[in-house]
Amino acid sequence: MPYVTVGKENSGNIDLYYEDHGTGQPVILIHGWPLSGRSWEKQTDALLGAGYRVITYDRRGFGESSKPTFGYDYDTMADDLHKLVTKLDLHDFALVGFSMGGGEVARYLGKYGTKGVSKAVFISSIPPFLLKTADNPVGVDASIFDGIKKAIVADRPAFLMAFLSNFYNVDVLKGTRISDEVVRLSWNIASGASPKGTLDCVSAWLIDFRKDLARITVPTLVIHGDADRILPIDATGKRTQELVKGSKLVVLKDGPHGVLWTHADQVSRELIGFLKRKN
């Protein structure tokens, strides 16, 4: 199993698990909270079939990666991504982030610039700024995030099941676009994540990415479902498209948060079509 070492905690290394398959232009897929690189199952298959080199990795604390007690902030996570890019000596690569992974895309480009990056994609992503403040009145009140933290501490497994029900809009899409088995698979992955990392990432959601987005100069695609209950499109996807000059927004009708599975064919089609375009 391939790993990249990104730090140390006491006597042990902090290692990120990654997978690197195929040939052609590299595409890095960055997963959302509280899942892992396995959530890209449908898109990985489609991208490999289209002739791309596909790289997935598990964020620190999640999936098969090490589970340290620190580092669940976007500056550190962007640094982790940069260490993976450096280890693999990647050039002309696309960055694709889902949900929380969109934050890594934004912060990486804001911090390291666009050198070596060909394109950027935000799918159901967290930018530009979730927290309600005086200059961000469309954001979410801080008390909501405090409630999420309390629920995680009180009963993390129960919270995750409720979260995933809204992640996939199970009450509407069950039996057509989502199955109990897929939800169970997602819960199994999520429940195996670091409890500390699961909790600490909630604070990272409140980061302001507006300056990061303004620095993006590569072609950018935003994909978002119009029925997203986790990150509603009006507060996230639409605003991200407005802040990234020249970017394109694709709205998935009746798409929940978890469109990587429920609307997999549409997501893959839009993603591959965008990657194939010359500009």
What is the mean pLDDT for each group of 10 consecutive residues in the chain (279 residues)?
96 98 98 98 98 98 98 98 98 98 98 97 98 93 96 98 98 98 98 98 97 98 98 97 97 98 98 93
Q: What pLDDT is stored for residue 278 in this prediction? A: 84
Q: How far is CA 155 from the centre of its chain?
A: 24
Among 99, 124, 125, 186, the active-site one is: 99
Q: What pLDDT is stored for residue 184 in this prediction? A: 98
Among 31, 224, 257, 263, the active-site one is: 257
Catalytic: 268?
no
Q: What is the dihedral of CA 201, 203, 204, 207, to 10 degrees?
A: 160
Catalytic: 135?
no
Catalytic: 99?
yes
Q: What pLDDT is stored for residue 1 in this prediction? A: 74
Burial class (CB in 10 A: 0-12, 13-18, 19+), 188: exposed
What predicted TM-score, i.e. pTM, was given to this entire model? 0.98
Q: How far apart are CA 186 and CA 106, in angstroms?
A: 25
Q: Which helix (H) or strand (E) holds 237?
A: helix 237-243
**DSSP alpha helices (H): ranges in 34-133?**
41-49, 74-88, 101-112
Contacts of 70 (CB under 8 A, 6+ apart): 9
Q: What pLDDT is stored for residue 118 in this prediction? A: 98
Q: What pLDDT is stored for residue 200 in this prediction? A: 98
Q: What pLDDT is stored for residue 204 in this prediction? A: 97
Domains detected in the chain:
3-276 (3.40.50.1820)
Among 228, 247, 263, 268, the active-site one is: 228
Joined tokens for residue 8: 């140390």
